[in-house]
Structure formats: structure tokens, C-alpha cells
Chain A
Amino acid sequence: MWSRFRREHQWQIRELLLTLNLLSRNASAVAGCIIVAIMVFMAVFASLLSPYDPIRISLAERLKPPSAVHLFGTDELGRDILSRIMHGARISLRIGVLVVLIAGGLGALTGAISGYVGQQVDNLIMRVMDVILSFPPLVLALALAAALGPDLNNAILAVAFVMIPKFARLVRGEALAVKERQFIAAARAAGAKRLWIILHHILPNCLASVIVLATLVLGEAILIAASLSFIGLGAQPPTPEWGAMVSVGRKFLMDQWWYATFPGLFILTTVIGFNILGDAMRDILDPRIRR
């Protein structure tokens, strides 16, 4: 079965191997991969790795500075900040992945429909996207999250909504190019329905650029969701979300510097990881600037 799969998909496999090869020779791609891998590892094994329970309160240990016992110190309820950061990786990555799945799925589908069907449908969909793009992302996400109510899942929905146009515009552009190719005409001549063509021909052909955009959006989504949590609209206590931790740590900034510093450092590092990986992938996957 494997050999048959290999025969049928030999071009895709070659392309994938070439891409991986180019990625491994690109220093910033490797750096991005390592950062992302560490965060994923931390998220998956948070319960095993973290030295303490992230939500257990121990008032005797409150606001202790970084030491060998508590590497990043403790918070105002005596919880170990390192353990909370490790569990926070789970939350941040879940936010990023969910936003990308929702926004990427909806955005790619509407974009493909817009580009392939064209005319009135295209016009309508793109004007709706223009309207969404008429708001600074954080402002619209804030308004939506506030209307839906302060809760992590609502914040995820709000951020996903704001990200839809990015995917829709990208896929629309690609769909416009793909739809002129001959195999689409062949499929249509063979009697394929519009939706079938969109799902089986248009979308798979946009996959590479959607993956690149998804990597970049993942970082941005983590950033905006953390900002919402910082304002008080995302994760609620005692959830160990990084943005929410910085928000509480702010009250102790002048005397307990470590509280706000470390969670924020992890937000920054994670987003850098996704951004440089995404940038490197874009350079490699775009044949015009492939070196």
C-alpha cells in the first residue's frame, strides 16, 4: 500500500523533500522550528515537566524571587511561575491553532468561492472583507470579545473573525489564477460541480500559501489573544494564560519584577518563533525568490 501511495504521489513527495531540505539549510527557519518545537514540547508534556501544580495555592510561598527552588519565582498566591508558564504554553498554542483552523477554514472557503464563482458573489464577499479590514485588528477583536462576554473561547472566536479576511484575500487571488488552468476546464467538461471543483482542485492548489500564512497568523493570533487577556477579556483566573499573568503581574511590577517579566518573555519568544519560521517558509515556497 505504501509503495502505491509513493508511486501515485511521487511529485508531491519530491516537492515536500525539497522544501524540507531547503528549510533545513535556512538558518532562521531552523531557529524558528527549534523555538516552536520547544513550545510544543512544553505544552504537550506540561504536567510531567512542571515542578509544581500550576493552580495550587500556598500562601507561605507568596511572591518569592527567582531561586533554585522556584526558577522564575512565585506569584501573589504562592504558585510557581515556571509551572504556570509551562501550562500556559498549552493555552497559547491552543488559541493559535484554533484561530488558524477557524479563520483559515472559513477564510479559505469564502476566498475560493469568491475567486472561482466571481461576479456578484465575489463582489459581495470582498466588500464584507473590506468592512472587516476597516477596523484595526485589536479594536474589532476587543469589541467582539466584549460583546460575547469575557471568556477565553469568546476571545478565540473574536480573534478568528478578525483574521478571516487575510485568508480570504490570499485564497481568492490564488483561485483566480488556478481557475484559468486547463485541468479546471477538463474537470468542468467532465461534468464536475462547482463545489466539487472548489474542494478538490482550487483549495488543494492554494494549500502551500495558506500554510505559510497560517504560520504567521498563528503568531499574530497568540499576540492579540494575549492582549485581550491582558485587558481582562480573554482567559479568566486561575487559568495560567500568559497575557493574564502579565496583567496581574503589573500590579506587583515595582517590587516583584519577575512576575510580569517571565510570562511576557515567553509570549515574545513564541511569536518570534512563528514569525521567522513563517517568513523563511514564504521565501522558500515562493519559487520567484527561491534561492
Chain B
Amino acid sequence: MRLLNYALKRLLYSIPVLIGVTLLVFIISHAIPGDPARMMAGQKASREAVQNLRRSMGLDRPLPEQYLRYVAGLAQGDLGKAIRNQRPVLDDLKDFFPATLELTSMSMIFCIAVGLPLGVISALHRNRPIDHTTRVFSVVGVSMPVFWLGLMLLLLFYRDLGWLPGSGRLDVGLSPPPHVTGMYLVDTLFEGSREKFVNCLLHILLPAFCLSYVYLAIITRIVRSAMISVLGLDYITTARANGIREAVVVLKHGLKNALIPTVTITGLSIGELLGGAILTETIFDWPGMGKYVVDSVNFLDFPAIMGFTLVVALIYVLLNLAVDVLYAFLDPQIRY
């Protein structure tokens, strides 16, 4: 009950932030460019055409009124029309979202499957060679230009070794699975085609690893420091003195408590992954929202760019909210 109260309070608290987010995106899209109508119409349009467009878009109204119209539109799911194909931006994003979701989920699995054990091992062997190696690995991770890492992975695994495919979600010869979730790994399972599933898996490995490396580094460091501080506590010594097996002490008593800070950072990383996806999807020609926004940048397609920005911010805020509630659930000592 108290948890529910907290969750509701936290939800109310994020309303002003959400309003702020829409305001910031509105300012960026309406106030900063010299003339949105001119940009929409393109450089070659006549002055009259621009005037007409300005009137029909309501850009001749005062800014506060424009903002209210903008928010009213948002409430109905109206993110504007993409200049490129004149389709509603929301429809475009819906089409590209599953690919991004698939890629970020796979990266998250990598992050946890590798980062967690690596952090624990480093903490257990503090200041020994394996710990130093992990440290170097994480410093390189947080300093890594994702787009360059992607290219280097392509050189190694695609060009030189030929182990993995270089782009896309499926081999060109294979037809995409029937649309159920839009995530090929899941859809091929529904279709029951083992060959396609394996093919999808091979395609996702490189981009998912590329995207996960930065966050892998962060998660490893957090788990390491959380484990070190937990393992120094008295109850761990007591457990050891009672003759409990070391593996049980570390995994059950230690890791369970070290997981709390890890949850926070993992939740926040999912949001950050959406940023990294912009670069990864471009390198690996992965047809997700990130590639969509980079293509939009090349066309100077502002409604598409701003729609993407807003949607990602919304996801980010909601994830933050979820993480906070989960945090309170995991650690009963924390109630704000």
C-alpha cells in the first residue's frame, strides 16, 4: 500500500518534467530555426507558398497559442508529418520501433550476462591482474566512439574473418517473417523457421555487442564497487564464520544486496542505449528509429527529428519512473 502511494506520488512528480520536455522540444522546433515554414516548404518554394504554409500550420499565431495547439496535437498522437514521405511521424516511428526494441533488448541481455559476472569476479580478485584487466576494459568502454567500434567490428568479423553478416536483419535471399511483434527474433519463432531464426541471431550479434560495450563497461564498474562494499560488511564475515560455502556467501548474501545499485544503473542504461542506437543502427544498416533519425538529418526533415526526440525523452522519463519504483520495492529502507 505504501509502495503504491509512493508510485503514485512519483508519477505525479514526473508530470511537470513531462510538460517541461514538451516545452523544450517545442522551443527547439519552433523558436530556434529561423523559419519553420520555409524549412518545411524547402528552399525553392515561392514566398506565397511559404506564407500559405505558415498560415495553415498556425505559425502566424502567438507562440503560447502555438504551444497549446502543439500539446493538444500530441495528446491525440499527432507528431506532425515527415517532410520526406508526407506520412505521420508517429506511424513511421511505430514501424521502426520494433527493430530498435529488439536491438536494445539484445544489448541489455549482453550487458547483464557479461557485466554482472565480470563485476563480481573483479570484486573477488580486487587489485589482481584480472581486476586490472577489467578496469582497462571499462575505461576503454566509456571512452569508445561507438561508431568507430562498429566499423572495427565490421572489419574484423565481416571482412577479414567472414564469420558474421555485415548489415541488415536478415540475408537478402530470405523473406521477412510474418508481422506479429515486428521483432524478427520473436516472429521467426512464431513462424517456426529455425533457419531464419539462426540467421536473425547472426545478424544481431555484431550490432548488439557494439551497442552494449559502453554500458557493459559501466555496469561492470558499478557491480564491482557495489560488491566490494557489500563484501566488507559484518554480516558477510558472520556468514563466512558460520561455515557457509563461499559461493553461497558471494552469490546469495553478497550479490543479492549488491544488485540494488545495479538495477538503477541498468534501468538508466536502457534509456541511454536508445541514444547509442542512433550510431549503431547507422553503421550496421539496422532499420530502426536511430537509422530513421539519421536519414531524417540528411533530409533536414525536422518534424521527424523532433518526433523522435520527443518519443525517446518520453521513454526515458517513464523508464526513470519505473526504476525508482522498482528501487523502492527492492530496498524497503528507501521511502521518500
Contact = CB atoms under 8 A, between A and B. Distances in A.
B297 to A, nearest CB: 6
Contact of B312 (A139, A144, A275): A139
Contacts of A37: none
In which size bucket is the chain B interface? 35 or more
Contact of A230 (B154, B279, B313): B279
Contacts of B271: 136
A93 interface: no
Contacts of B25: 143
B274 A128 contact: no
A136 B268 CA distance: 10
Contacts of A142: 278, 293, 297, 305, 309
Given A143-B306, A254-B159, A135 B316 contact: yes
Contact of B140 (A219, A227, A243, A268): A268
Interface in B6-32: 16-17, 20-21, 23-25, 28-29, 32
A275 B305 contact: no
A233 B21 CA distance: 22
B148 A139 contact: no
Nearest to B25: A143
Interface in A172-203: none
A146 B297 contact: yes
B272 to A, nearest CB: 5
Contacts of B148: 246, 260, 264-265, 267-268
A231 B20 contact: no
Contacts of A249: 151
The CB with the most chain B CB atoms within 10 A, among A137, A227, A233, A243, is that of A227
A36 interface: no
A276 B316 CA distance: 29
Interface string B304-332: 01101100110011001000000000000
Contacts of A226: 145
In which size bucket is the chain A interface? 35 or more
Contact of B282 (A131, A231, A275): A231
B198 to A, nearest CB: 25
B276 interface: yes
B154 A134 contact: no
B21 A134 contact: yes
Interface string B76-103: 0000000000000000000000000000
A271 interface: yes
A56 interface: no
B302 A231 contact: no
B97 to A, nearest CB: 15
A134 B17 CA distance: 8
B139 interface: yes
B162 interface: no
A70 interface: no
B204 interface: no
Contacts of B24: 131-132, 135
Contacts of B32: 144, 147-148
A261 B145 CA distance: 12
The CB with the most chain B CB atoms within 10 A, among A128, A147, A223, A246, is that of A147
Given A143-B309, A243-B145, A268-B143, A134 B278 contact: no
B275 to A, nearest CB: 3
B28 A139 contact: no
Interface in A93-146: 127-128, 130-132, 134-140, 142-144, 146
Contact of A134 (B152, B155, B279, B317): B317
Interface string B129-153: 0000000000110111111100110
B278 A138 contact: yes
B242 interface: no
The CB with the most chain A CB atoms within 10 A, among B29, B148, B155, B320, is that of B148
Contact of A253 (B151, B282, B312): B151
Contacts of A140: 309, 313
Nearest to B36: A147
A62 interface: no
Contacts of A272: 139-140, 143
Nearest to B23: A131
A41 interface: no
Interface in A244-266: 246-247, 249-250, 253-254, 257, 260-261, 264-265
A148 B283 CA distance: 25
Contacts of B147: 227, 230, 243, 246-247, 264
A232 interface: yes
Interface string B276-294: 1011001100000000011
B33 interface: yes
B20 A139 contact: no
B300 interface: yes
Contacts of A265: 148
A249 to B, nearest CB: 8
B279 A227 contact: yes
8 contacts: A132-B24, A134-B20, A140-B313, A143-B309, A144-B28, A149-B33, A243-B145, A265-B148
Closest 4 CB pairs of A and B: A264-B148, A136-B275, A131-B20, A271-B143
Interface of B: 16-17, 20-21, 23-25, 28-29, 32-33, 139-140, 142-148, 151-152, 154-155, 159, 271-272, 274-276, 278-279, 282-283, 293-294, 297-298, 300, 302, 305-306, 308-309, 312-313, 316-317, 320
